Structure 1
Amino acid sequence: MSLDNLSRRRVLGLGLGALALTGCGGGGGGPRQAQAPASAAPTAYDGPAVSLSFWNGFTGGDGPVMKRLVEQFNTENPTIKVAMNVYEWADYYAKVPAAVTAGQGPDLGIMHVDSVATNAARTIVLPLDDVATALSLTEADFSPPVWRAGVYKGARYSIPLDVHPLGLFYNKKVLSKAGLDPDKPPTTGEEYLTALETLKKAGVQGHWATPFQFTGSMQFGSLLYQHGGQLFADDASVSRFAEEPGVQALTWLVDLIAKGYSPKNVGQDADFLALQNGKAAFNWNGIWSINTLREVEGLEWGVAPLPQIGAKRAAWAGSHQFVVFRQRRPDQNKLTAAKVFINWISNHSLEWAKGGQVPARRSIRDGAEFQALKEQAAIGSQIDDLYFLPSVAGIGDASAVVDQAINAAVLLKKSPKDALTEAAAKVDKILEQNRRKYGA
């Protein structure tokens, strides 16, 4: 899971879940190109035959799953032909804005939720309030955090497909050898530190503290919210991560090294590999790890919600969300067909869950078939405890600076307080620049 595997990735967002947009044409300050809003979205299409271009970055094991869903949709909807184009996520986020600006963009696609606001500000994606209204989709059909994350300046620009949270992955053999119960992973901060101490006495460094965004920054964010803090003010007017909860969260991570529970200078993805080869007992990683671990021969593992280290439950998560792209010559039939496709995939997201995701739609998550996917269901039980970045344009630029602070602290180059304080000063300037760039 190295950074050069920016393919499926575990770009699940850059910067604590936010993907900084690159290669975009134009800023948010220029005139908006008018486009009439689409009519209400039906659940079936009865217009003339249309072809839809559907772009995404599902280049990993999730790609074949989406391909099969598209093929099934095409079979069941003969007047709509959906053609799926797949790119590395980094290339995707460069290609899409350029293609839309040139009038050659796809009809619809997938975006990580942290990129939606930036693309909305740049008029790359269209509002989708009519989809939610016509299909009677409400916050109750999803979960409050993931539903609200797709709203920018009072308008909805995306429809949630899934969420992909962090979970606690554990090596059962390592726990057993240390005398710990392999079927009862720790659930509290006290239990977690007790387990790490027991593992240390058995010669195992149980939790390898990684300084990299995947997944060190995600771990920091989870701990920050567990301690009652947040990364930014709700409107992203100022940073909040350098306040006391942030210092507590980052100190907890750094103390793993000081207490001997983690080696120093953990390399990119070395923590995940250590779990697989028996050198670590625990790894806080994303739900996308499930299918990877299933393929490791002889590995006995489990996954549970993150332990509650702070005063409340919280976990980092990303979310894939459907978007519809602006066109120079809007085609009402294509817009209607695109929304039929979005609704169809959402209603068939149980298959998507098998690819290693948590369906965003509550009716799918609550069903017996999803609950039978015990690993996905375990991570999915955190659904109402997830946090997302504020839906503010350019937020990825700011969160990338937080990644740098975490890296410096975990590599023991700066104290947690100093690293966060210095980063906050830089981030506040970026947030101010973004307000001028995209509008308040």
Structure 2
Amino acid sequence: MRTRSTPTPPPAAGPGRRAFLAGGLAAAGLGLAGCGPAGPLPGGGRTRLRQWNLFTGGDGARMVEMHDAYRREHPGIDFQPTTYLWGNPYYTKFVMGAAGGRAFDIGTLHLSRLRGLGAGTLIDPVPAGLLAEYGVTEADVLANVWEKCVVDGELYAVPLDTHLTVTYYNREICAEAGVLDAGGELIATSGPEEFFDLLTAVKEVTGQYALSIETIAAWRHFWSLYRQQGGEMTFDGELGIDDDKALRSLDFLRRLSAEGLAPQSSDAPGTPANFQNGIAGLLLTGNWEIATFQNAGMDFGMRPFPAIFGPELGQGDCHALVLPHRRDRDDAAVRAAVEYAAWMLKNSITWAGGGHTPAYLPVAESPEYADLRPQAEYRHAAADVQFDPEAWFSGSAAPLQNEAAAIMSGLHTGAVTPEVALDRLKRAAQRLIDTPEPV
């Protein structure tokens, strides 16, 4: 996930070629070897804990707030967080730092990237027993999320949140369009035609568009629609995909713009702006945009991704905390890192202010979270978050998303048909399958 407070993933495929990693990581190992060891500082001082993350903007401000509180409660920890740019800039640093074996003690990761970034090689297991000592166990996390944290029977990540694609609606516009229920919430629709009828009513009020949708990041919408139909995607030597379900999903995206209900082209800053300015009455994007509209003083609500081809399933991901591989084991640093991860989960009500649903159930099910609006309106959707398909090139800011974005944007402009888009997506996926796994 990314937040709108963070930049849209660039089209570059990131670390993807074995040749690059073979030379780049070797060089990184030499370069990072000069970094001092973690753990207690010389002279018996505080335990050093170096944390890497990819949070800027609104998320970054909340992370700083949490880190300030962590420091106040942990005077014995020399806490040193570092923030890198979202997407490939961060993940390139992450891979090189983990390969060096000494650069940082705990890092942030999109859970969809856990396997592809080297669980068991560049990422060390999290001692589950130690995590339990600090009050976090499997029973404290949604089952679908905890399952993604486990690789070959070992825990490799501690999930901080769930973030997914949801529906925002402008209450004033939607009330005038007659699409709110008696409680002032957006009515639920079932099937594409009911949803198009709703959009048509909203467009009559705005006079421009009904729905704001980021046309250059269409993968999230495609995967939501495809998964609502029960579609699977596999990469075992060759691409496995259900053509009929994929074409249905792609044609739905095409229709949104072809029928004038959504823009033909809308980028990362323009998409929320269209909603904020009343150019569109609804918005499909990640739950991380909440702060943008709250700061603008908008009267808006939220609900899960609409039920177009099945249940209200939306594509999403989790931010998780992981332990990079260490050349030399440092028990004090590991203990400090695991305690930090547990502390972050227990204090994630602050993090929830930015729209992310806490992964830690005692927080997500707390009265404090229930009072957060509109966050609590869609929290049940986290139990059914639709992660990207498993592959080293899949997940947030990974090559598959970037390839799909370039291909699917043409659906909205009318430059390609669903059939052409699907053919190009299949060929791009096969090229990635044929590329040797870099880690």
TM range (shorter): 0.7 to 0.9
**What does 1:388-399 correspond to in 2, within 5 Å?**
388-395=387-394, 396-399=398-401
Deviation at 1:322, TM superposition (A): 0.1
Q: Could you say which residue in structure 2 is the equivalent of 1:148?
A: 147
Residue pair 1:253, 1:410 contacting (<8 A) in 2 also: yes
Match of 1:380 in 2: 379
Residue of 189, 192, 196 corresponding to 1:193: 196
Which one-letter code corresponds to 2:71 in the other structure?
A: N
Q: What whole-Å deviation, never above 9, does each CA across 1:323-354 have from its counterpart, x for those lacking one? A: 11223332111111111111111111112112
Distance 1:150 1:101, change over 3 A: same
How has the CA–CA distance of structure 1 residues 65 and 199 changed in structure 2, closer, same or farther, with 3 Å as cutoff?
A: closer
Q: Give the 5 Å matches for 1:232-251.
A: 232-233=233-234, 238-241=238-241, 243-251=243-251
Post-superposition offset of 1:370: 0.6
Residue in 2 that maps onto 1:423: 425
Q: How does 1:28-43 map to 2 (within 5 A)?
A: none
Give TM-score, length-normalised by structure 1.
0.83
Q: Contact 1:168/1:306 (CA < 8 Å) preserved in 2? A: yes
Residue of structure 1 equivalent to 2:415: 413
**Any idea what SS the aligned residue of 1:218 has?**
helix
| Deviation at residue 423 of structure 1 after TM alignment | 1.5
Question: Who is 1:346 aligned against?
Answer: 345
User: Quick check: 1:347–1:364 contact (8 Å CA) kept in 2?
Assistant: yes
After TM superposition, list the pairs within 5 Å mapping 1:41-440 onto structure 2: 49-90=46-87, 91-120=89-118, 123-130=121-128, 131=130, 137-181=136-180, 183-188=184-189, 189=191, 190-202=193-205, 203-213=207-217, 216-230=218-232, 232-233=233-234, 238-241=238-241, 243-297=243-297, 299-395=298-394, 396-434=398-436, 437-438=438-439
For residues 10 and 288 of structure 1, what CA distance do their matches in structure 2 show? 13
State whether residues 25 and 101 of structure 1, in contact with CA within 8 Å, keep that contact through their aligned partners in structure 2.
no
Aligned counterparts of 2:246 and 2:137: Cα–Cα separation in 1: 33
Distance change in 2, residues 1:228/1:279 (3 Å): same
1:343 partner SS: helix
Task: Report sequence identity in percent.
Answer: 25
Distance change (3 Å), C-alpha of 1:103 and 1:305:
closer
- Mapped to 1, the partners of 2:423 and 2:124 lie a distance apart of 38
Q: Distance in 2 between matches of 1:374 and 1:6?
A: 19
Residue of structure 2 equivalent to 1:42: none
Structure 2: distance between partners of 1:180 and 1:133: 47
Flag structure 1 segments of 5+ consecutive residues without an equivalent: 34-46
CA contact (8 A) 1:20 1:115 kept: no
Is the alpha carbon distance of 1:327 and 1:50 closer, same or farther for their aligned partners in structure 2, counting shifts above 3 Å?
A: same
User: CA offsets per residue over residues 156-175 of structure 1, 9 Å max, x none?
Assistant: 32110011112111112222
Q: Report the 3-state secondary structure (helix = DSSP H, G, I; strand = E; otherwise coil) of the residue aligned with 2:104.
A: coil
- What's the counterpart of residue 39 of structure 2? none
Q: Which amino acid aligns with 1:419?
A: A
Question: In the aligned structure 1, how far is the partner of 2:61 from the partner of 2:417?
Answer: 45
Distance between the aligned counterparts of 1:54 and 1:208, measured in 2?
A: 36
SS of the counterpart of 2:311?
A: coil
Kindly provide the amino acid, as one letter, of the partner of residue 289 in structure 1.
E
CA–CA separation in structure 2 for the residues paired with 1:293 and 1:6:
11
Conserved? CA contact 1:55–1:108, under 8 Å: yes
Report if aligned partners of 2:168, 2:303 keep a CA contact under 8 Å in 1. Answer: yes
Whether 1:26 aligns to 2:22 is yes
Of the structure 1 ranges 163-172 and 178-187, higher mean CA displacement relative to structure 2 is found in: 178-187
Tell me which amino acid in the other structure corresponds to 2:123.
Answer: V
The verdict on how the C-alpha distance between 1:372 and 1:51 changes in structure 2, with shifts beyond 3 A counting, is same
Give TM-score scaled by structure 2 length. Answer: 0.83
Counterparts of 2:290 and 2:361, CA distance in 1: 21
Q: From the superposition, tell whether residues 63 and 115 of structure 1 become closer, same or farther in structure 2 (CA, over 3 Å).
A: same
Bigger mean CA offset, 112-121 vs 347-356: 112-121
The 1:72/1:266 distance shift into structure 2, 3 A limit, reads closer
Is the 1:110–1:321 contact (alpha carbons within 8 Å) kept by the matching residues of 2? yes
Tell me: CA distance 1:209–1:345, structure 2 relative to 1, closer, same or farther (3 Å): closer
Structure 2 residue runs without a partner (length 5+): 30-43
1:165–1:379 Cα contact (<8 Å) kept: no
394-403 or 81-90: bigger deviation: 394-403
Does the 8 Å contact 1:224/1:241 carry over to 2?
no
3-state DSSP class of the match of 2:52? strand
TM-aligned CA deviation for residue 387 of structure 1: 1.0
Alignment correspondent of 2:37: none
CA-CA distance at 1:377 after TM superposition: 1.5
- Where does residue 38 of structure 1 map in the other structure? none
Paired with 2:80 and 2:145, the residues of 1 have a C-alpha distance of 27
- The 3-state SS of whatever aligns with 1:169 is strand
Q: What amino acid is the match of 1:374? A: R
Q: Relative to structure 1, is the Cα distance of residues 401 and 239 closer, same or farther in structure 2, using a 3 angstrom cutoff? A: farther
Q: Secondary structure at the match of 2:118?
A: helix
Mapped partners of 2:374, 2:241: distance in 1: 31
2:383 aligned partner, one-letter code: D
